[in-house]
């Protein structure tokens, strides 16, 4: 890192002005990180005129920035469906690192120029807090869990402790019910998809004293072995379809297994969960209630009538998008004290980040406003069920 001339125009400015400059350059709202291939196997035989059979991997997961000091991890070839035996590959693994997602369409807000942090030690010490504390670090690529772990591993201790906001998708497979078991009363097994053994370490990092995370945004994708629609999910649109919601029968639903390591985090001020194809309302409600109770910071107020996080009723905003049809929407209220649910039909708008209840009986469906992941589901399935919940420290 170079020594910067103390008489330079930048360092002669008042600190508050310099901070404004740092914020303009370094704060983009979201820093999206993704995986990039650094080394792929090569074929010992010529295939279609190409010596390197896995050249396509370099294009699909393109390394945009030089590797320099970033760490890497490996994934097995079988996960990429590469026929190793047929092409006599010289390796059995693909090496991947993380990188900031390249800018799209040339807009400044799509990427952040971090070169300012490399100018000199003084500017680094002044600007690093703004970069890490004011941005949301988003790991939404195909290898999101190992990408997050390796990125966090590589952060210096001071930088790691400054990270305040993180976005992470979690994909898991839920088995279909066995023969004779009603689908609405069975949660199956929950197996994380492509965590490569990094999930426990990620949860350990996020909950350790090394970090002081304040905001966590989870996108949870349920991949059903045998898709089941409306199995204990909200029957939407017509008021008479809400009869099931008013059950007061006390049942203790199961909790998805992957949530338990996350519960060690206890520094959050805000937790948001966007759940895709979650069919069990009570399981989702109880899971989010448990997360709120364990992960949100304890309120400063010690009044006896103060409700602790996770004990208050939780609102789940549901939106079922049907291909080429207007969406069906509802708000379902889950009470963790007795696992009861109630609900109402409404209009709900997806702004691309969250679901928002809006006035009126309907809302025109505009597919351009939906999340890309919803569109991906609609490309292969006629319907996509989503729900959203947001809980905060009062």
Residues 211-250 have pLDDT tens digits of: 999 999 999 988 875 544 443 344 443 333 444 344 444 4
DSSP state of 380: H
- Residue 341: name the closest of 246, 208, 235 by CA: 246
For the chain, the average pLDDT equals 78
Q: HSE-up of 257 (CA within 13 Å, CB side)?
A: 12
What is the C-alpha to C-alpha distance for residues 156 and 351, in angstroms, rounded to an integer? 35
pLDDT at 180 over 90: no
Q: Check the CA dihedral 256-257-262-263 and report its sign.
A: positive
Highest mean pLDDT among 10-14, 154-158, 347-351: 154-158
Task: Give me the helices (H) in the chain, please.
Answer: 9-12, 15-26, 55-60, 84-87, 121-134, 144-154, 157-162, 199-207, 281-295, 372-380
Q: Is there a contact between 210 and 265 (Cβ–Cβ < 8 Å)?
A: no
Q: Is there a contact between 33 and 139 (Cβ–Cβ < 8 Å)?
A: yes
What is the C-alpha to C-alpha distance for residues 38 and 98, in angstroms, rounded to an integer? 10
For residues 16 and 175, the model is more confident at 16
The torsion region of residue 349 among left (phi > 0), alpha (psi -120 to 50) and beta comes to: beta
Residue whose token pair is 């999101």? 144
DSSP state of 76: E
Tokens at 240, concatenated:
């008479």
Q: Is there a contact between 96 and 36 (Cβ–Cβ < 8 Å)?
A: yes
Minimum mean pLDDT range among 41-55, 168-182, 238-252: 238-252
pLDDT at 65 over 50: yes
- Residue 140: name the closest of 385, 393, 371 by CA: 371
Distances (CA, A) of 255 to 108, 244, 273, 296, 332: 41, 21, 15, 18, 18
pLDDT at 325: 77
pLDDT at 323: 78
Mean pLDDT of 171-193: 63
For residues 354 and 78, the model is more confident at 354
pLDDT at 352: 78
Residue whose token pair is 């207007």? 326
Mean pLDDT of 298-319: 67
Q: HSE-up of 218 (CA within 13 Å, CB side)?
A: 25
Greatest Cα pair distance, the chain, in angstroms, is 79
What's the whole-model pTM score?
0.82
What is the C-alpha to C-alpha distance for residues 76 and 259, in angstroms, rounded to an integer? 26
pLDDT at 300: 45
199 pLDDT band, cuts 50/70/90, is very high
Q: Is there a contact between 322 and 365 (Cβ–Cβ < 8 Å)?
A: no
């Amino acid at each position: 890192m170079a020594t910067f001339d103390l008489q330079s125009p930048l360092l002669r400015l008042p600190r508050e002005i310099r901070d404004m400059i740092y914020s303009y350059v370094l704060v983009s709202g979201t820093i999206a990180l993704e995986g990039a291939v650094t080394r792929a196997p090569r074929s010992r035989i010529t295939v279609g005129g190409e010596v390197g059979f896995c050249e396509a991997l370099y294009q699909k997961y393109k390394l945009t920035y030089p590797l320099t000091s970033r760490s890497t991890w490996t994934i097995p070839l079988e996960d990429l469906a590469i026929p190793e035996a047929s092409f006599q590959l010289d390796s059995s693994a693909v090496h991947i690192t993380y990188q900031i997602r390249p800018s799209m369409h040339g807009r400044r807000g799509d990427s952040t120029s971090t070169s300012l942090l490399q100018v000199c030690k003084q500017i680094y010490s002044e600007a690093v807090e703004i970069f890490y504390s004011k941005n949301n670090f988003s790991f939404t690529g195909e290898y999101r869990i190992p990408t997050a772990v390796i990125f966090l591993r590589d952060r210096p201790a001071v930088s790691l402790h400054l990270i305040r906001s993180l976005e992470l998708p979690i994909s898991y497979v839920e088995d279909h019910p066995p023969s004779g078991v009603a689908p609405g009363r069975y949660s199956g097994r929950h197996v994380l998809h492509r965590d490569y053994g990094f999930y426990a370490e990620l949860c350990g990092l996020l909950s350790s004293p090394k970090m002081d995370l304040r905001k966590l945004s989870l996108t949870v994708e349920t991949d059903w072995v045998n898709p089941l629609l409306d199995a204990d999910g909200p029957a939407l649109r017509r008021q008479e379809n809400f009869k099931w919601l008013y059950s007061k029968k006390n049942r203790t639903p199961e909790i998805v297994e992957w949530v338990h390591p996350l519960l060690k985090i206890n520094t959050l001020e805000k937790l948001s969960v966007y759940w895709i194809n979650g069919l069990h309302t009570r399981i989702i409600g109880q899971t989010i209630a448990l997360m709120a109770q364990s992960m949100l910071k304890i309120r400063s107020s010690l009044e006896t009538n103060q409700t602790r996080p996770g004990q208050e009723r939780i609102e789940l905003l549901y939106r079922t998008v049907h291909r080429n049809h207007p969406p069906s929407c509802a708000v379902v209220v889950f009470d963790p004290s007795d696992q009861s649910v109630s609900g109402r039909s409404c209009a709900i708008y997806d702004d691309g980040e969250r679901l928002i209840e809006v006035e009126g009986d309907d809302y025109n469906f505009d597919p351009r406003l939906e999340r890309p992941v919803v569109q991906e589901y609609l490309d292969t399935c006629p319907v996509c069920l989503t729900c959203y919940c947001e809980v905060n420290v009062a």
